[in-house]
Amino acid sequence: MRIAYLGPAGTFTEDALGEALGDVEFEPLRTDTVFDAIQAVVEGRADRALAPYENSIEGSVRGTLDILAFDAPNVAIVGEHDYPVRQHLITREGVGLGDIEAVLSHQQGLAQTARFLRENLAGVELRSVSSTAAAVRMVSESPRPWAAVGSRAAAQLYGCQILREGIQDERNNVTRFVWLAPEGTAPAAGERWKTSLIFSELGEDRPGALVDALAEFSSRGINLSRIESRPQRSELGRYFFFLDADGSLEDVGVAAAIAALRTKAESVRILGSYPII
């Protein structure tokens, strides 16, 4: 099986992939961006992609949501994996906290360590780059006293030191990754299930329209574990709504709620129905 994911070596996604698969053999396809990883599935160059979906500190990974909404119509979520993330402040050997001129990381890494950076490196430039591993590589190659926020694996890979360990703002820093596969791929077996979907446009703009749509789930006793809106990009004030509902598409209540939602929304797309960890 060929699996696409955000590279280079040493990213948290690679660590999560290794944890999720254990000893299962696979062919890795490292990509420069999450978009490229998902596109590899869209284009048939990969059987699966593992993409960050939600973080316990920063919330949804909006880039992944937007890719699923706009750029990957034939891709489905077939599973998920929760990965505890520990962020570290990484520098070249000999660089101290007071020497640092800039801190580099993926935007999520900077966001997850915002308090530490504010309190310990106030006024230092923060630079968003393509991945945490890329940030560590750039730090290792630069003659300037830069630092990166990244993983222990990346520090070891590029011969850097960990100046401060565990600098994430919250101890329970967990990123949920989703497994993406071509639409129609059967998910693994499981006892507890989740169904993810997107819907948009609830007819005439009126008070309570969204409440009425969500009531199709609550009236059937279906828990919604997540709801989020994202702009449709067509004009101001038009949104997609992302939902995670407890249960499988095979459940009578879930199927009935979605059928009722289709009578109220302009579009409804099932992103996937898959087992919960």
Residue 66: enclosing H or E segment and its boundaries? Answer: helix 62-70
> Catalytic annotation on 177?
yes
Q: How deeply is 41 buried, as exposed, middle or buried, from its count of CB atoms within 10 A (0-12, 13-18, 19+)?
A: buried
> Catalytic annotation on 175?
yes
Could you give the domains of the chain?
2-85+173-182 (3.40.190.10), 88-164 (3.40.190.10), 193-275 (3.30.70.260)
Structural tokens at position 237: 């004030």
Task: Specify the DSSP class assigned to residue 98.
Answer: G
Please give, one letter per residue, the 3-state secondary structure of 100-167: CCEEEECHHHHHHCHHHHHHHCCCCEEEECCCHHHHHHHHHHCCCCEEEEECHHHHHHCCCEEEECCC
pLDDT value for 202: 74
Catalytic residue among 35, 177, 199, 242: 177
Q: 116, 114, 155, 100: which is closest to 133 by C-alpha?
A: 155
Cα separation, 98 vs 190, in Å, equals: 51
Residue 209: enclosing H or E segment and its boundaries? Answer: helix 209-218
pLDDT tens digit at each of 277 positions of the chain: 999 998 878 888 988 998 899 888 999 999 989 999 999 999 999 999 999 999 998 899 999 999 999 999 999 999 999 999 999 999 999 999 999 999 999 999 999 999 999 999 999 999 999 999 999 999 999 999 999 999 998 999 999 999 999 999 998 889 999 999 999 999 988 899 999 999 987 766 677 888 999 999 999 999 999 999 999 887 787 889 999 999 999 999 999 999 999 999 999 999 999 999 7
Catalytic residue among 175, 195, 199, 242: 175
- Give the angle 230-31-50 at the CA atoms, nearest 5°: 60
pLDDT value for 203: 66
Q: 43, 10, 51, 90: which is closest to 272 by C-alpha?
A: 51
| DSSP-assigned states of every residue in 249-271 | TTSHHHHHHHHHHHTTSSEEEEE
Q: What is the pTM of this model?
A: 0.83
